[in-house]
Structure 1
């Protein structure tokens, strides 16, 4: 059978398919690609409080080898790839909840600040807050889970001026003493100590030390979970009978350190103590079905943990887009 195709029928077909495609060219959309992303904040209600999660940006750790230890490296890589995660670059988030109780505006942890020790994608907390409509001057309290570089780095700007001029700052005294000790400036911890001193010493007169179990702000209770640092704490945040636990760095990864919670993390001051704190606290949270927010889980880091096998499983909470 001979198929006769006229020039007119080709043009008609080209109008439907895109003439450039018919002629071997590349089709061009009517609108250009935008190259922009949604603002890096999310808001939800907790009892009578309003919680806004702001990001300091992704924090890439690089290959897991040497960072996540205690099981064979190939098993770590398989855990990542089995969960559709890059086995060659472990990327953490940095999720800070800002809780508006109606009486106080409370920020938990402050990100990397001006340090680019983990690359150029960190240090956007102030930008995220601006996108969310929150002014640094309005922050009443800054609560610090511990004094590591990625949690206290955003207290001061590049000129060492405090970014939250009206806030009081809350931290465990043991962590403050450990990480601001100038005697450690000659040790492998030097970079962390320099950064802690840069951020914590300018607000030393506004620091308040909390104790394990203390409700040091209305609806905010400290819960000691040592090991990652000597004074690492997590916090139970409660309003009108609703609660969530801000984990700080109880666990850095929603797969590796949950499925195998006794795996060790090289940034822990005492990895074995950290693993025991992790199992103890996650067991309690899973048994009580307490919602959690993890500083380093995938954005925005809010969900539940459940006991499973030798470890735990994380169930992210769907983001509610209406308040």
Structure 2
């Protein structure tokens, strides 16, 4: 160390040694840990629209290896560790979008909620925060005009009603594909993976409460002005993305097109255990990711790291995820 670099250090040390001791009676104890999180919402603009992302809380997937049963364990772990993620515990976010078009207030997906009792906590106690965070963002459930579902899985529709079956969004219509509505309310589909029974029972309870308010989403057609549904089947039979356009700005709400910002981006053809048709899902994912990268379309992903906003870029045989800075007011 040179004499020039040592002098400031020595001077600081000497000054610290001569600081007076605090007099008796002044607080010196460490402050208690808060162990609470701030309200989870983020507001920005999509053209002339106002958009608010509201968190339903973290969704711990646990060990990711069983979720990708056809993929090599060593490759899964290598991808995670090389991106500074722990290899044995993946956590997904739940980023629900509320869109104010100036004419309507539209909620995309609802999170886990509490409608199914203990089953609503199948992923742990950190989910079910949507209504609380909506209110923290200044939005009341009764203000929602329409709930648009990307699909009818538990973490996307189980907060349509409360534990007693009462509508959480009393003035809202519900938009969903006819394919998902039929599939997830059919007891004949209670077969295959163990989770199917709970998923169908939950969808039946939540969707049936709005049976006189359903709007069927059609491929490449507007659900409401400025919001176009795009079928991306495979994760469920009727899974859809939504292109939201105001002026010259478009954001694609991709729902569960890809669950993980590393694993299913770097390896878009990998199969995911919660997919109804894993091979179809992989093909839908690849086609849409290619479109998003080619056309440089901004993305909102439901399960990517908070708040789920960013862009997709083609990188080798896969894709890279580039988050949008949270202080950016427009996309």
TM-score (norm 1): 0.90
* Secondary structure class of the residue paired with 2:66: coil
Return the offset for 1:322.
6.0
Give the deviation of 1:32 after TM superposition: 4.5
| Aligned CA-pair RMSD | 2.0
CA distance in 1, matches of 2:163, 2:95: 22
Does residue 282 in structure 1 map to residue 279 in structure 2?
no
- 1:204 matched to 2:211: yes
After superposition, the Cα gap between the structure-2 partners of 1:224 and 1:321, relative to the gap in structure 1 and judged at 3 Å, is closer
> Do the aligned partners of residues 78 and 16 (structure 1) sit closer, same or farther apart at CA in structure 2, a change above 3 Å counting?
farther
> Aligned in 2, Cα 1:322/1:223: closer, same or farther, shift over 3 Å?
closer
Q: Is the 8 A contact 2:45 2:329 kept in 1?
A: no
Instruction: Give the deviation of 1:153 after TM superposition.
Output: 0.7
Provide the rounded CA distance (Å) in 1 between the counterparts of 2:328 and 2:39.
Answer: 14
Of the three residues 151, 158, 161, the one matched with 2:163 is: 158
- Looking at structure 2, the residues matched to 185 and 70 of structure 1 have their Cα atoms a distance apart, in angstroms, of 23
Gaps spanning 5+ residues in structure 2: where? 1-15, 115-119
Q: How many residues align?
A: 306
Q: 1:173 aligns with which of 173, 178, 185?
A: 178
Q: 1:72 to 1:322 in 2, by over 3 A?
A: closer
Greater Cα shift, 77-86 or 307-316: 77-86
1:44-73 per-residue CA deviation (whole Å, 9 max, x = no partner) reads: 011110000001000001101120233310
Corresponding residue for residue 6 of structure 1: none
2: CA distance, partners of 1:83 / 1:119: 25
Whole-Å separation in 2 of the counterparts to 1:182 and 1:17? 73
Are 1:214 and 2:215 counterparts?
Answer: no
Residue in structure 1 matching 2:241, options 230, 234, 239 = 234
- Aligned twin of 1:84: 84
Closer, same or farther in 2 for the Cα pair 1:64/1:49, shift >3 Å?
A: same
Q: Distance in 1 between matches of 2:309 and 2:266?
A: 17
Per the alignment, residue 224 of structure 1 pairs with 231
2:127 is equivalent to residue 122 of structure 1: yes
How many Å separate the matches in 1 of 2:73 and 2:293? 28
| Corresponding position: 1:28 with 2:33 | no
Contact 1:69/1:263 (<8 A) preserved: no
Partner of 1:261: 268
Give me the whole-angstrom Cα distance separating, in 1, the residues matched to 2:84 and 2:311. 20
Q: Is the 8 A contact 2:48 2:101 kept in 1?
A: yes
Cα distance in 2 between the residues matched to 1:17 and 1:263: 62
Deviations 1:2-50 (Å, cap 9, x if unpaired)?
Answer: xxxxxxxxxx947457799xxxxxx634x55444332100000111100
Counterpart Cα distance in 2 of 1:177 and 1:153: 16
TM-superposed CA distance for 1:232, in Å, is 0.4
The equivalent of 1:57 in structure 2 is 57
Q: Find the residue that maps to 2:211 and give its secondary structure.
A: helix
Determine helix, strand or coil for the equivalent of 1:66.
helix
The match for 2:8 is none
Q: Taking structure 1 as reference, are residues 321 and 216 closer, same or farther at Cα in structure 2, changes over 3 Å only? A: closer
Structure 1 residues 321 and 267: CA distance shift in structure 2, 3 A: same
CA shift in 2, pair 1:280/1:322, >3 Å:
closer
Q: Residue 185 of structure 1 contacts residue 194 of structure 1 at CA under 8 Å; is this kept in 2?
A: no
Q: Deviation of residue 206 (structure 1)? A: 0.5
Q: Mark the runs of 5 or more structure 1 residues left unpaired by the alignment.
A: 1-11, 21-26
Q: Work out the CA distance in 1 between the residues paired with 2:171 and 2:63.
A: 40
- Give the drift of 1:286: 0.4
d(CA) in 2 for partners of 1:129, 1:139: 11
Q: Which residue of 2 aligns with 1:23?
A: none
Q: Which moved more, 1:235-244 or 1:183-192?
A: 183-192
2:310 aligned residue (303, 311, 314) = 303
- TM-score computed with the length of structure 2 as normaliser: 0.88
Q: Distance in 2 between matches of 1:256 and 1:17?
A: 54
